[in-house]
Amino acid sequence: MAYDEQPAERTRETLSDEGPLPELVETVLAVPLHRTLGLRLIDPDDAAAGVELDVRGAALNPSRVLHGAVAPLMMDVACYLAVMAELEPGANAVTVSIASSLLTAVPAGARVRAHGRIDRRGRGLAHLSATVHDGERLVATAQVVKALVLPQGSV
């Protein structure tokens, strides 16, 4: 599927361990920036488990540590995958706001993992939190708000 094509349907089942990588996840991972960074699922059978990448190449800043924009990007993607796992078919979510804190530098060669979780979900907004870890070490946190775009006729 090309990046600019829309997945046919998004369901809880498409984010489970049934079958090949679901179209939604393929679309997310196919975003050119995500591909350039080497962003991938932590668990190919559970997209809601989060994303990871190796700190190298485009993920590095001139000081040879994780670029400051990469951790917030990872947390936004992890939150998107977490909320999409809970939405009905045909729904989508878009970022309204993200507030992130970078807690420490991550050296080249490390593998970082981002996890997102839903803290509260209403009809129109989902409030999420996310973390990035280098092994056991917490390196970034975020609070993310996603607007829920529900299918026509949803309540």
Domain ranges of the chain: 12-149
Query: Is the Cβ–Cβ distance between 104 and 139 less than 8 Å?
Result: yes
pLDDT band at 24, cuts 50/70/90?
A: confident
Query: Is the Cβ–Cβ distance between 93 and 148 less than 8 Å?
Result: yes
The per-residue pLDDT for 90 is 83
Length of the chain equals 155
Residue 23 CB neighbour total at 10 angstroms: 16
Task: Indicate the DSSP class of residue 90.
Answer: T
| C-alpha span between 54 and 40 (Å, rounded) | 10
| C-alpha span between 64 and 62 (Å, rounded) | 5
Q: What is the DSSP string of 22-34?
A: -HHHHHHHTSHHH
- Encode pLDDT of 111-138 as tens digits: 999 999 999 999 999 999 999 999 999 9
- Encode pLDDT of 34-74 as tens digits: 999 999 999 998 999 999 999 999 999 999 999 999 999 99
pLDDT band at 2, cuts 50/70/90?
A: very low
Say whether pLDDT at 14 is over 70. no
Q: Are strands 92-102 and 51-54 parallel, antiparallel or unpaired?
A: unpaired
From 3.40.50.1220, 3.20.19.10, 3.10.129.10, 3.40.50.720, which CATH number describes the 12-149 domain? 3.10.129.10
Q: For 25-36, what is the mean pLDDT?
A: 94
pTM of the model: 0.85
Q: For 10-21, what is the mean pLDDT?
A: 39
- Encode pLDDT of 72-92 as tens digits: 999 999 999 999 998 887 889
| C-alpha span between 26 and 6 (Å, rounded) | 11
Provide the terminal-to-terminal Cα distance of the chain, rounded to the nearest Å: 31
